[in-house]
Amino acid sequence: MLYSYITVTNDVSETGIKAPVLLKENQLSHYAQRAGTFKKARILDYLETIFPGRSRAISCLTEQMPDTGCRKIREFKKRRECFCFSENLLNNHEIVEAVWVFDGDRIEQVHQLDFSKLAWESVQDDDDLFFKRIRHYMFVLNKGFLPVEYIKKASR
């Protein structure tokens, strides 16, 4: 299974998991500092500089975030719901155009996923972008969303 954390309140159960291209401008504010703007069009342009299709991509992990003493992880989890979907989606080319891995400074397109244990202990309370420390994947979606029928709420 793959796991995606979506900000509470969301409409994932009704509309699926949406990539930035389908979000409203006010839902993109966490990209504003990196993009240097709050304007949706410019944020999407910025995202496309990271890799082709980034504005149509959703992030996922190969395991759920642990219960931990790390404040940064606890706060992240507290503000989000966890949804899961099968890794077999990788082979559904009607939905998934490409998959990219982010692993430290390495960003590259991949055709297989690495399910080895993630380095949660490397996350520090003062991390700004702690996902830089944790290997995660970006699924570029042809239509910019993962349909409801592929998603379920992750149990904990």
pLDDT digits (tens, 9 = 90+) for 62-91: 999 998 888 989 999 999 999 999 999 999
Q: Indicate the pTM of the whole model.
A: 0.92
Asked if omega into 9 is within 30° of 0 (cis), the reply is: yes
pLDDT band at 156 (very low <50, low <70, confident <90, very high): low
The pLDDT of residue 97: 97
Q: Determine contact, residues 83/12, Cβ cutoff 8 Å.
A: yes
Cα angle for residues 129, 148, 74 (degrees, 5° grid):
30
pLDDT digits (tens, 9 = 90+) for 25-52: 999 988 998 899 999 999 999 999 999 9
Going by the DSSP 8-state scheme, the letter that residue 29 receives in this structure is G
Partners of 96 in the β-ladder: 141
pLDDT digits (tens, 9 = 90+) for 112-150: 999 999 999 999 888 777 788 899 999 999 999 999 999
The pLDDT of residue 125: 85
- Determine the Cα–Cα distance for residues 84 and 142; give it in Å rounded to an integer: 19
